[in-house]
């Protein structure tokens, strides 16, 4: 018999936390998170996102066996920023079991409807600043840092769930760094970008290790302004930005962080990171293993026995008034040239640029002009709720 119950006890939360390790056991592509970081993400007292969210966690049980999980929540900052009245579902993990998937999704819909929402959207865990979307293409490769992974059947379960429809697709691009500049088309694109930089007085520099604090503050100042018209974007709170900057400081590679100016005025940023998911994949942290040991294993693969062969181009933001004049291309060229040099140093071979909205044709053209090939797609679903 199938039933869905709210997470209420510490034992329930542990079951919720550990479920993905059971679900993806033996899967060659799933990347487990550090247990302590995942526990902190779920902790409503520690995760700053819960300062503006209302929500609960639920587990689907078949008899005495957990068969799925889901979070249902209202993101009040999202609703205020977009003038919407919607709820979200996230942390959606389930066996290939349509009945269990339907029950979890219905439970989430009922919860957000009871909070007054007229629509439910997801998956999002917990916003577009975190892991979000369901993978629908590109299953033969582990995910990059802060990107989701799921079994191919998730799309079928969501397509078949009553009332749920696609609302938006986003894609990631793969850029092969080996011989990146070897084609005449790319050489011409780079020359055009350089000439435009001179004409527009666009300058690009990397993050300065000597003034790391000031540069991260500059990133903080630009971030929310630059993304304010992006679909689904929710401005980060001060606490979230502080937490993000703290996290960035742990694994930031200054050679992959760029700031652009136009005629001396701060205009944009572009941040890429070594793909931390690769050492995580090799270390495979597990619940029940002392977290110190989990972290030492990750560190071994991260620093002492490098397993990072890919970077993720994760964040680009351009202030209003500086878009469409070539600032994006100026940073992109500098980043890729730096990434090629770094790849030769560490033996890397590729960069992941994502994600890009299916409606963002300008960004699609930019990435494709510099050799990007779309290789992974993610989908958001939505269901209208009865008043």
pLDDT in tens, 78-136: 898 889 999 999 999 999 999 999 999 999 999 999 999 999 999 999 877 788 999 99
What pLDDT score was predicted for residue 102?
Answer: 98
Confidence tier at 201 by pLDDT (50, 70, 90): very high
Confidence tier at 373 by pLDDT (50, 70, 90): very high
What pLDDT score was predicted for residue 227?
Answer: 64
Does position 366 have pLDDT exceeding 90, yes or no?
no
- Asked if 88 contacts 112 with a C-beta cutoff of 8 angstroms, the reply is yes
Which stretch of 83-97, 130-144, 188-202, 312-326 has the lowest confidence by average pLDDT?
312-326
Does position 146 have pLDDT exceeding 90, yes or no?
no
Backbone φ and ψ of 67, nearest 5°: -125, 0
Prediction pTM value:
0.91
Does position 17 have pLDDT exceeding 80, yes or no?
yes
Which stretch of 6-20, 172-186, 262-276 has the lowest confidence by average pLDDT?
172-186
- Asked if 294 contacts 283 with a C-beta cutoff of 8 angstroms, the reply is yes
Does position 55 have pLDDT exceeding 70, yes or no?
yes
250 vs 33 pLDDT, higher one: 33
What pLDDT score was predicted for residue 248?
Answer: 61
Does position 49 have pLDDT exceeding 90, yes or no?
no
Backbone φ and ψ of 143, nearest 5°: -70, 155
| All structural domains of the chain | 2-169 (3.40.630.30), 175-377 (3.40.630.30)
Q: Residue 333: which of 227, 192, 231, 173 has the closest Cα? A: 192
Q: Residue 13: which of 71, 80, 64 has the closest Cα? A: 71
Return the bridge partners of 270, or none: 258, 316
What pLDDT score was predicted for residue 350?
Answer: 87
Cα separation, 218 vs 137, in Å, equals 36
Cα separation, 319 vs 331, in Å, equals 14
What pLDDT score was predicted for residue 255?
Answer: 85
What pLDDT score was predicted for residue 298?
Answer: 87
Mean pLDDT over 53-81 rounds to: 95
Does position 164 have pLDDT exceeding 80, yes or no?
yes
What pLDDT score was predicted for residue 114?
Answer: 96
What pLDDT score was predicted for residue 6?
Answer: 98
Mean pLDDT estimate for the chain? 89
What pLDDT score was predicted for residue 231?
Answer: 77
User: Which stretches within the chain are classed as H helix?
Assistant: 10-23, 35-42, 76-82, 98-114, 153-160, 184-200, 212-226, 238-251, 277-283, 291-299, 327-346, 361-369
What pLDDT score was predicted for residue 171?
Answer: 95
What pLDDT score was predicted for residue 189?
Answer: 82
Cα separation, 384 vs 331, in Å, equals 40
What pLDDT score was predicted for residue 29?
Answer: 97
């Amino acid at each position: 018999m199938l039933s869905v119950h709210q997470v209420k006890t510490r034992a329930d939360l542990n079951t919720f936390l550990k479920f993905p390790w059971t679900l993806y056991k033996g899967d060659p592509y799933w990347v487990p998170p550090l247990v302590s970081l995942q526990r902190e993400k779920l902790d409503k007292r520690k995760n700053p996102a819960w300062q503006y969210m209302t929500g609960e966690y639920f587990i689907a049980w078949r008899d005495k066996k957990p068969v799925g999980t889901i979070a249902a929540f209202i993101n009040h900052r999202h609703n205020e920023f977009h003038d919407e009245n919607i709820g979200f579902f996230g942390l959606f993990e389930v066996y290939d079991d349509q009945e269990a998937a339907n029950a979890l999704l219905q439970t989430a819909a009922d919860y957000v409807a009871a909070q007054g929402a007229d629509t439910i959207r997801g998956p999002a865990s917990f916003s577009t600043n975190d892991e979000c979307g369901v993978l629908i293409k590109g299953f033969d490769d582990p995910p990059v840092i802060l990107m989701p992974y799921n079994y191919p059947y998730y799309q079928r379960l969501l397509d078949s769930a009553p009332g749920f429809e696609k609302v938006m697709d986003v894609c990631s691009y793969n850029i092969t760094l080996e011989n990146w500049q070897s084609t005449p088309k790319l050489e011409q694109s780079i020359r055009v970008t350089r000439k435009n930089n001179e004409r527009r007085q666009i300058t690009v520099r990397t993050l300065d290790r000597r003034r790391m604090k000031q540069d991260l503050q500059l990133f903080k100042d630009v971030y929310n302004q630059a993304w304010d018209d992006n679909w689904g974007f929710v401005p980060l709170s001060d606490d979230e930005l502080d937490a993000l900057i703290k996290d960035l400081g742990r694994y930031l590679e200054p050679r992959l962080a760029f700031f652009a100016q136009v005629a001396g005025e701060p205009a944009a940023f572009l941040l890429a990171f070594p793909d931390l998911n690769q050492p995580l994949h090799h270390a495979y942290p597990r619940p029940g293993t002392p977290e110190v040991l989990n972290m030492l294993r990750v560190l071994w693969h991260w620093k002492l026995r490098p397993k990072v062969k890919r970077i993720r181009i994760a964040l680009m933001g351009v202030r209003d008034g500086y878009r469409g004049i070539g600032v994006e291309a100026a940073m992109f060229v500098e980043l890729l040239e730096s990434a090629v040099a770094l790849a030769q140093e560490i033996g890397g071979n590729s960069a992941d640029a994502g994600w890009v909205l299916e409606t963002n044709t300008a960004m699609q053209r930019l990435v494709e002009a510099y050799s990007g090939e779309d290789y992974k797609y993610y989908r958001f679903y939505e269901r209208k709720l009865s008043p």
